Amino acid sequence: MNQPIIQYHNLGLKDYKEIWDYQETLFDRVLKQRDDNDDQSKVNHLIFVEHPHVYTLGKSGSENNLLIDYIQLQAKDANFYKINRGGDITYHGPGQLVGYPIIDLNAFKIGLKDYIHMLEEAIIISLKKYDIASSRLNGATGVWIDIDKPGKTRKICAIGVRSSHWVTMHGFALNVNTNLSYFSHINPCGFTDKSVTSIEKELGYKIDFDDSKMKVKESFKEIFGFNYME
């Protein structure tokens, strides 16, 4: 059986709404290609991008978890969007690796629960490459550090996805060199008792961002078992 094919999009720093629209375009493309009988012509997608400062609220989230008003948002040079993924509120900004897999779950023969588990696993093994131990937290998506230490548990990667007709959108946000002060203006993912962290904060030095992309890109191939389009 042929492995699914992934086209990798390394987009640099791009506006959030622009990439949301781009995801919608790729989503429609992946959905339409189901009628193609040639598996080799079916292409899934993985977008890596950074965004200017922006807060996004998932469809199950509460606006009360945004702790600043419109005027304060403007002062922080940040935007705010209500979007169609799962999860609550999160922040995206420079120094954060945001990944959007647009894939047909049928091609991978997995369900949504398994897909989210695999997203988390890809980040967990990426962090191992930095000698950072991370894990899942019961009752919450994403990737966390020190889950067995009350008061010290902190999130390093947020995950929020949408699946429609078994095709995915949105994805993960891994804090690499992220300015963590922007998280002080929200209750990240709705939590009031847990903090956030980054690879830079955990290791104590600035991370080569391109290298972090390659580590995560390799981990995704390892976990999902696809081939990147040449």
- The residues that are catalytic are 189
Nearby residues of 230 by Cβ (< 8 Å), 6 or more positions away: none
Residue 115 in contact with residue 163, Cβ under 8 Å? yes
Neighbouring-strand partners of residue 100: 47
Residues, the chain, total? 230
Q: For residue 226, give Cα distances in angstroms to 125, 173, 218.
A: 17, 21, 11
Residue 182 is classified by DSSP as G
How many CB atoms neighbour CB 24 within 10 A?
A: 13
Pairing status of strand 5-13 against strand 227-228: parallel
Residue 143 in contact with residue 188, Cβ under 8 Å? no
213: part of which helix (H) or strand (E)?
Answer: helix 209-224
How many CB atoms neighbour CB 17 within 10 A?
A: 13
| Start-to-end CA span in the chain (Å) | 19
* Tokens read off for 174: 């891994």
Neighbouring-strand partners of residue 160: 171
